[in-house]
Chains A and B, each alone.
Chain A
Amino acid sequence: MLLITCPHCGPRDEVEFHYGGQAHVAYPEDPQALDDAAWAHFLFYRDNPAGAFAERWQHSAGCRKWFDVVRDTVTYEFLTPEGGSR
């Protein structure tokens, strides 16, 4: 089980968290202007790097806040110090 450091609560077990996928995926500025392919790309297409990956987590069983971290997808090591940012 991963030990994830919540920026507000400190280190907690992974089961207290909800995974939120890739971070920094911006909502389209003008969603009406997107065709189906572009909309599908926004909804479903994500990076899949072997290495550093910026992702979102929510401390769902604790403070319920969302926060961003950078995690190495090969070693599972959290690269952001202090559990990342809000």
Chain B
Amino acid sequence: MTADQTTADQASAPPADLRRSPAAHLTEQMRAGDVDGPRGVRLREIPFAVQLGIRAEPGAPSGRAAAEAWGVGLPAGPRAGETVTGDPEGRHVIWISPDEFLAVEPSGLAGLIDVRGIEGALDGMPGQIVDLSGNRTILELTGPSARSVLEKGCHVDLHPRAFPAGAAASTLLGPVQAIVHRTREDVFRILPRASFADYTVRWLLDGMAEFAGEELIR
């Protein structure tokens, strides 16, 4: 076999086998940290979601082109009570700022998305769409105690009247900048940057530990 053939074989190998998600090394700890029952809370990573950073104004031609390319309209923002559009289990868009959005596809279909094609949708127009899939990972905290765990250090009000299912906010979790997205009443997704994933998982596991024991004060 020539050197050229070896290179060609490597190039055709599926890259998924080589990928390691930012919290993959903590999979066992996350499983061990699961708490069942009425005070239950579970943590898992949703790895390898496709995430695209969109810089465009929603009403402008580039905003409309970005929405059309992704297939989901851009959210109007917290002042209009709309911070997420689309299906949280499929393609959705999270509001970041008046001209910045994060398009997310967390399902197993993410690998089928033509990321390069969507990135090119704004060619010749102001604004940009950039593949940010490696920037953040998604941690999902589920269960009746999920909100109590986050409230130990999250700087937004997580009461349902202020932060209902379908809301998202860029904020701090402890000292870590993260996007918090409440997909259902007791399901929170936390999107820290990849290099903060290890710390954030350990912070959450530490916060979850008390719920495995008896409730001391009612």
Q: A residues touching B (Cβ–Cβ < 8 Å)?
A: 8-10, 12-13, 15-16, 61-65
Q: How far is the CB of B84 from chain A (nearest CB, A)?
A: 14
B155 to A, closest residue via Cβ: A13
Of B78, B155, B172, the contact of A8 (CB 8 Å cutoff): B78
B29 within 8 A of A: no
- Set of chain B residues within 8 Å of A61, measured between Cβ atoms: 155, 170-172, 177
Chain B, interface SS category: strand
Can you spell out 7 A-B residue pairs with CB atoms less than 8 angstroms apart?
A: A8-B78, A8-B97, A8-B98, A16-B172, A61-B177, A62-B169, A63-B97
Number of interface residues of B (CB under 8 A): 14
Q: Are A15 and B79 in contact (CB under 8 A)?
A: no
Q: How far is the CB of A3 from chain B (nearest CB, A)?
A: 11
B178 to A, closest residue via Cβ: A61
Q: How far is the CB of B203 from chain A (nearest CB, A)?
A: 16
- Set of chain A residues within 8 Å of B97, measured between Cβ atoms: 8, 62-65
- Set of chain A residues within 8 Å of B171, measured between Cβ atoms: 12, 16, 61-62
A11 to B, closest residue via Cβ: B157
Of A10, A15, A63, A64, the contact of B155 (CB 8 Å cutoff): A15
Q: Name the residue in A10, A15, A16, A63 with the highest tally of chain B Cβ atoms < 10 Å from its Cβ.
A: A63
Going nearest first, the 7 A-B pairs with the smallest beta carbon separation are A63-B97, A13-B155, A62-B170, A61-B172, A61-B177, A9-B78, A10-B78
